[in-house]
A = this chain, B = another copy of it.
Amino acid sequence: MLPRGRPRALGAAGLLLLLLLLLTGFFLLGGYPEYGQLREAAAYDGDPPAGHGGHNRSACAPQPPLPPKCELLHVAIVCAGYNSSREVVTLVKSMLFYRKNPLHLHLVTDAMARNILGTLFRTWMVPAVVVSFYDAEELKPQISWIPNKHYSGLYGLMKLVLPGILPSSLTQVIVLDTDVTFASDIAELWALFAHFSDKQVIGLVENQSDWYLGNLWKNHRPWPALGRGFNTGVILLRLDRLRQAGWEQMWKPIARRVLLTLPATSLADQDIFNAVIKEHPGLVQPLPCVWNVQLSDHTLAERCYSETADFKVIHWNSPKKLRVKNKHAEFFRNLYLTFLGYDGKLLRRELFGCPSQLPPGAEQLQGALAHLDEEDPCFEFRQQQLTVHRVHITFLPHEPPPPRPHDVTLVAQLSMDRLQMLEVLCRHWPGPMSLALYLTDAEAQQFLHFVEASPVLSARQDVAYHVVYREGPLYPVNQLRNVALAQALTPYVFLSDIDFLPAYSLYDYLRASIEQLEPGSRQKAALVVPAFETLHYRFSFPSSKAELLALLDAGLLYTFRHHEWPRGHVPTDYARWREARVPYRVQWAADYEPYVVVPRDCPRYDPRFVGFGWNKVAHIVELDAQEYELLVLPEAFTIHLPHAPSLDLSRFRASPAYRDCLQALKEEFHQDLSRHYGAAALKYLTALQQPQSPA
């Protein structure tokens, strides 16, 4: 606990300063006395209080002093579920874009949001941002007794219990809804704490609708509020004073009393905050309207922002969010879209002149990057390999598959140019999928719309999409595979590529095969799914092995890369497969790269292989080195569809330097292999000695 004297002392200095600034304001604005008045005075009279700016932006008078340069600002946000986890990122981006101070984010999350945002912030590596998580589950008992009709559900109410759960050393915090967007430096908002009188504990912007006046429609009975009431999308909380005043003993009785006459809260925490303020108006410090411009359907916010172009925080407080209809929605949408599509990696900006606050791992990473030799022909490859991509796992709502001992997840990765494969893949694979998508922030939004517009994709809750944000010139294929693999939730995974369509029956057949072979009980096994290809981009997919063989005989199908790179699949022994009725074992050979089904805990892909070449081959070597038995499944097949060569592939074909570097990486891979597996790895090196480049 801080000594009680300190905040008071601050308050006194603040008051003195205010007085001086006020004087300055009057001096500057002799002609406009109405703008010199304290905003507090205007807050209760029914008009939204005037903000900074407007004509009076020509003076700095209403600006309280900004916090010291490197002062840490605290922000608390309640965030639960997949959609809010996506939404909050846009808020965070807008905040980071304008901020100049170190930030500590206190996130109250459910398990999903914890997982998503934990991964996101760990990989985002923004300097001078600390993130703490608080488990929403533990808070539920404190508020679950309150009936609530608001779309935010129980989570909306959790803001009420923040004083009890945030660290007791924390004296003040800004509390934000996930649906707000910053258009200015949050330090300016933090500075408003200095306006608080000794008795004030909560800073709020007046509600910008007539909701609490109770005249919106017949029989509308809102919770009690002071005038128009206050909106709780943006809150300044003096935690120290709330704790001292016994906040919990304050709001709970009031809420209980109102609930005797009203069936439930309509607007969650906001109803309760307003009921408390109605009884104790001295607790509230009204904030300038520009700090919470509320864009609901029937908003009165125009009264606030038409005076000033200088709004500070936009609040999408309608269930319709961006689709809300009001006169200037388009304008505010553009601001929102700015940060929605903003490349998050650009926010990895240091704060000049503040002590270094690098996130975990960043220092080592900078060191490793600094040690790279720019003259090394593999420089670009090594740089790409070291790149830490931001990762947003389960970008869209997802229902984890029920635990089943032989279930298998299809694992693949793609970028924007393969999006059109998703629908047809869903038709071929009715089971769970874990897909890594390599996208820019803007593309991630296009992807979202693509899924929303597709009945086939929207119907599937068992496909998990993990967005890996683009950075660097080379496609980090193995890093993507590892992300998708790590997020697979079934005991087995089918390691596929996005251009392949599995046999319609493959999902069922694989589960049956896994059950039958019980590979868990004997040696580790990798089940090989034989791969074929069609060179026609419209063809009728074979519904059985017999049909497939007929197409093969007719020259309408080929074994995969039959013409360009037969070594990749020759060991599968297609002649034997033709006749096989039971699974058969095959031996590893150089450059073998079959599509396999393995337990989820299989070795990870080697991230040194980026762009085109050797990325799957190295993984199969690793499986063989770890003594996975390669078993070809007699009824399994998957077919590659034609597509234009990817940019990486064209580059590989064009550039001798690219090939030379790949050769160097291969050699390093083998050195690591020898180090790891000793003499057993010799056979791979011997095989490498007779290299055969892809045709």
Contact = CB atoms under 8 A, between A and B. Distances in A.
A58 interface: yes
Nearest to A644: B643
Contacts of A24: 17, 20-21, 24
Given A20-B24, A643-B643, A338 B331 contact: no
A645 B418 CA distance: 10
B69 A353 contact: no
Nearest to A649: B420
Contact of A537 (B63, B442, B644): B644
A353 B419 CA distance: 43
Contact of A68 (B27, B58, B418, B421): B58
A350 interface: yes
Interface in A558-592: 563-564
Contacts of A57: 66, 69
- What's the interface size class on A, roughly? 35 or more
Contacts of A647: 419-420, 450
A419 B306 CA distance: 45
A563 B59 CA distance: 73
A462 interface: no
A341 interface: yes
Contacts of A338: 342-343, 346
A305 interface: yes
B28 A54 contact: no
A278 interface: no
Contact of A352 (B65, B309, B335): B309
Nearest to A643: B644
Nearest to A99: B309
A535 B536 CA distance: 5
A192 to B, nearest CB: 14
A654 to B, nearest CB: 8
Interface in A58-106: 58-60, 63, 65-69, 100
A423 interface: yes
Nearest to A66: B58
Interface in A520-546: 535-538
Contacts of A68: 55, 58
Contact of A100 (B65, B309, B334, B419): B309
A641 interface: yes
Given A21-B24, A58-B68, A352-B306, A420 B334 contact: no
A564 B536 CA distance: 13
A537 B60 CA distance: 66
A17 B27 contact: yes
Given A27-B17, A647-B420, A650-B420, A308 B537 contact: no
A258 interface: no
A353 B420 contact: no
Contacts of A328: 350, 352
A358 interface: no
A17 B419 CA distance: 60
B349 A331 contact: yes
Contact of A28 (B65, B348, B535): B65
A450 B335 CA distance: 30
Interface in A20-53: 20-21, 24, 27-28
A28 B537 CA distance: 72
A442 B346 CA distance: 13
Nearest to A418: B644
Nearest to A333: B346
Given A535-B535, A643-B643, A63 B66 contact: no
A232 interface: no
A310 interface: yes
Contacts of A28: 17, 65
Contact of A641 (B334, B420, B644): B644
A337 interface: yes
Interface in A304-336: 305-310, 328, 331, 334-335
B343 A442 contact: yes
13 contacts: A20-B24, A21-B24, A28-B65, A55-B68, A57-B69, A58-B69, A100-B309, A308-B352, A309-B353, A328-B352, A449-B473, A643-B643, A643-B644
